[in-house]
Amino acid sequence: MARGHIAARADFIYATQQNATFWFLNAAPQWQNFNAGNWERIESSVKSFVAARNIRVRVYGGTYGVQTQADGNGDHREIFLDFDPNGRTRLRAPKVYYKILHNEAQNSGIVLIGVNNVHISLEEIQRDYIFCTDVSSRIGWINWDRENLSRGYSYACEVNEFNRVTGHLPQLNVASLLI
């Protein structure tokens, strides 16, 4: 695992902003295959899409859930990378990373989600990692191999449904998909 950035260094212009992306507030454990695979494709495609359309979007990024792995008995256990002296968990391995793109001018948006676990099956992903209706088939502007498990399974959802499920952001009441 590597230190994954919620907001990528390349998303910022000034050195002080770029350096701030390395603070732990902006970092979470991330599998390197996922980071260099579909997640990188999502990040670069978002920049290209926004530039080509000449639009402004507000981007909300984060993580959701705790990743699990099967132990020797086949029982799934949550993955934590650090514990305090009393054995309490301190550093969770996120289940998924997400980016919410919101075009305020058009009140359109989309959530791009990447599964941060390259060691599980498609069946496990479909059962445990897809928690909103997948609208990926409606997106033509991302250059990804979204079902390639070794590069990090990825999908997209409507903003309002994602917010209802996760409760992570105030309701944006987005009217349409940003596609």
On the 0-12 / 13-18 / 19+ scale of CB atoms within 10 A, 134 is middle
Q: Which domain holds residue 123?
A: 2-177
**What pLDDT sits at residue 35?**
92
The pTM for the full model equals 0.90
Element (DSSP H or E) covering residue 17: helix 15-20
Q: What is the rounded distance in angstroms from the CA atom of residue 99 to the CA atom of residue 129?
A: 16
- Of 140, 172, 142, 146, residue with least CA distance to 158: 172
- Total domains in the fold of the chain: 1
User: For residue 136, is pLDDT > 80?
Assistant: yes
What is the Cα 153 distance to its own chain's centre?
10
- Known binding-site positions: 35
Mean pLDDT along residues 80-96: 88
Strand-pair category, 108-115 with 176-177: parallel
* Residue 160 burial (10 A CB sphere; 0-12, 13-18, 19+): middle
Binding-site members for Mg(2+) are: 35
- CB 172 within 8 Å of CB 109: yes
pLDDT confidence of residue 138? 96
- Look up residue 169 and give its DSSP letter: S
Residues 122-149, mean pLDDT to the nearest whole number: 95
pLDDT at 23 over 80: no
Looking up residue 143, the CATH number of its domain turns out to be 3.40.570.10
Known catalytic membership, residue 5: yes
Mean pLDDT of 50-64: 96
User: How does residue 53 score in pLDDT terms, banded at 50, 70 and 90?
Assistant: very high
The pair phi, psi for residue 110, each rounded to 5°, is -155, 150
5, 102, 119, 168: the catalytic one is 5
d(CA 43, CA 129): 20
pLDDT recorded at residue 139? 96
Helix H segments across 37-96? 38-53
Mean pLDDT of the residues in the chain: 91
Residue 171's pLDDT band, with cuts at 50, 70 and 90, is confident
* Predicted pLDDT of residue 81: 85
- Asked whether the beta carbons of 44 and 144 are under 8 A apart, the reply is no
Residue 130 has pLDDT above 90, yes or no: yes
